[in-house]
Structure 1
Amino acid sequence: MSDIVVDPDLAGLPLGEGAIRSALSWAGCIAGALTTGQYRTFLEAAGFEAVNIRINYRYSPPDLQAEMPAVLRRLPARVLEDLAGRFASATIRAYKPL
């Protein structure tokens, strides 16, 4: 399957994860993105094995800025780059033994 993920997580940014997700709520697919660790944990808990998460594309500030709320656009460029780069398009593969 393909999905948008947060890789690795949203820790270490000047805004907390809740504030970031709230500010990004304009795009549900981004605001609700699971971390790669959460994806792996949930799939394994459901009985899947050999979980492989391949990052296909990392977002950049221009990808997100057009629709980004003002509170995030005011962040320093370095922080915006870091934040945007944590959101990625990924292919997730796993199998469930019979």
Structure 2
Amino acid sequence: MPLPENGAAWPPRSISALYDDIKVDDAWYSGDADRLAKVYRYAPQQRKDGRRRLWGRHRQPGKREERLHIPLAGEIAQTSVDLLFADAPVITVAGAR
């Protein structure tokens, strides 16, 4: 496969929609409410009735933030990694030199 020409668009137009989905998934995985709001505020993804999604709303000045994001996917992944790779196993063999 040849390398792309200098100045070629990145990502290629054929997979640019995939990168948009990756941005959304990355914002959810990060657990950062500001990143979620930014992704949904400027993304062209709207509901069928024309309203923005929950994280696409602009926060009104002087009003308390009522939205809450719990980064469950990130917590599950981190716990899984901690359980799998926390301590290296120690293997001993009887009678070994």
TM norm. shorter chain > 0.5: no
Structure number with the bigger relative contact order (C-alpha 8 A, sep ≥ 6) is: 1
Instruction: Pick the structure with more strand per residue.
Output: 1
Please report the TM-score for the alignment, with normalisation by the length of structure 2.
0.23
**Greater C-alpha Rg:** 2
TM-score between both structures, scaled by the size of structure 1: 0.23
Say which structure is richer in helix: 2
